[in-house]
Chains A and B, each alone.
With several copies, the nearest count.
Chain A
Amino acid sequence: MKTIFTKTSGLTERPFHYCPGCTHGIIHRLIGELLEEMNLIEKAIGVAPVGCAGFCENYFSCDMIGAAHGRAVAVATGAKRARPDRFVFTYQGDGDGASIGLAETVSAAARGEKISSIFVNNAIYGMTGGQMAPTSLVGQRTSTSPYGRDAVTMGFPLDLPKILTQVEGAVYVASVSVESPQAIKETKKALRKAFQIQLDGLGYSFVSILSTCPTNWGVDPVEALDWLTTKMKPYFALGELKTPALEGGSNS
């Protein structure tokens, strides 16, 4: 019997705690597969955020550190500078990376830290029960924007990858998604590139991944894929926004 698709050794056996249909699980699997395929399981140090993925150290087969909310990039910086021979990545939500941890993310990018950040943008604070995130869309109802996000008083969604294109030390910036098998394959490609860039010592690599939160969006998992496609994708700049070959970014 030929195996077409099976679980990677980059992940432990532990079932995920995520809600049904939450695409955090898909993203985990891609990372796990790359850890295995790129032979990084024994070399990687992952940094977990606070957020729904705050327990992800249980799932990745490599060594893991649990950071304080928003500080994963600082923790990863500390770890990578201590062990430059290791592969160090962060896994963070949009609140973690783009709100409380914004200074850490942008500053590490500016310093060109040789780490890779995976930024899971679900346009909401999942873990704490659905509050507005910096990435929540205009008009989006959340538990702290009960009348919908109003651009005049609450501002506009923060497009962190777009910002990072303007930061010299960020050498690879991609914005991808997971609503379909095709999108998932693209995402894996972007992650592989990001990881390779770290291994090549080129600088900071950052992959933003649009993800769903059926629970707090108040829709079923399949509808959530649709919401992601029709609402989120049009707002956030998508693609490889900056690559080492293509300095300056494709969005300019």
Chain B
Amino acid sequence: MTSGITKYLFAGFGGQGVLFIGKVMAQAAMLAKRQVTWIPAYGPEMRGGTANCSVIISNKRIGSPTVGKPDIALVMNEASYQKFIASVVPGGTLYVNSSIVPDLPGRDDIQVVRVPVNDIAHEIGEAKVANIVMLGVIQALTPTLEDEILIKALVELAGKKPELADLNSRAFKAGIEYARKHV
């Protein structure tokens, strides 16, 4: 998070919506008039394969858009945990979807935050928004931008679907609340 630059990595199965929350972050950063880049990476499989994206939010012009050592990483499944835990920058934060990822050996020099986002999403009544719940958690614990601006981005990306915007906002807030209460 040196010199006003934050690097994110969001990883999981295809279908878990990690690319989407990266987009929300990026959109929000743009709305906040920050510099931003978003890069996706997919595995060769169509579904069930791995997917991840890197987001950089910065106050100054962004050189390298790739994120080798994220400040903040999110892993939604076990494979991503195994793959990325070592890359988090010392002092950084790793968010783990504990609904799916078992309790595995961690690291001492980073913060590991385990959140059962699938279960939380289930409670809200829509399993698909586990990703947004996690976005809320991240926002609560390691915010880079204002809450409002993230919600605005969420609404914008929902396009012309107000129910979706609503659902997403609820999931986002549920994440924030959960984090404030439990972590």
Contacts and interface: CB of A to CB of B under 8 A. Distances in A.
A226 B159 CA distance: 31
B46 A127 contact: yes
A19 interface: yes
B49 interface: yes
B48 interface: yes
Contacts of A55: 44
Interface in B41-57: 44-49
A215 B46 contact: yes
A129 interface: yes
A52 interface: yes
B44 A19 contact: no
Contacts of A49: none
Interface string B25-63: 000000000000000000011111100000000000000
A20 B47 contact: yes
A215 B48 CA distance: 11
B16 to A, nearest CB: 15
A43 interface: no
Nearest to A129: B46
Contacts of A18: 46
Interface of A: 17-20, 52, 55, 126-127, 129, 215-216
The 7 residue pairs across chains A and B that have the minimum distance between CB atoms: A19-B47, A17-B45, A19-B46, A215-B46, A215-B47, A126-B46, A52-B46
Interface of B: 44-49
19 contacts: A17-B44, A17-B45, A17-B48, A17-B49, A18-B46, A19-B45, A19-B46, A19-B47, A19-B48, A20-B47, A20-B48, A52-B46, A55-B44, A126-B46, A127-B46, A129-B46, A215-B46, A215-B47, A216-B46
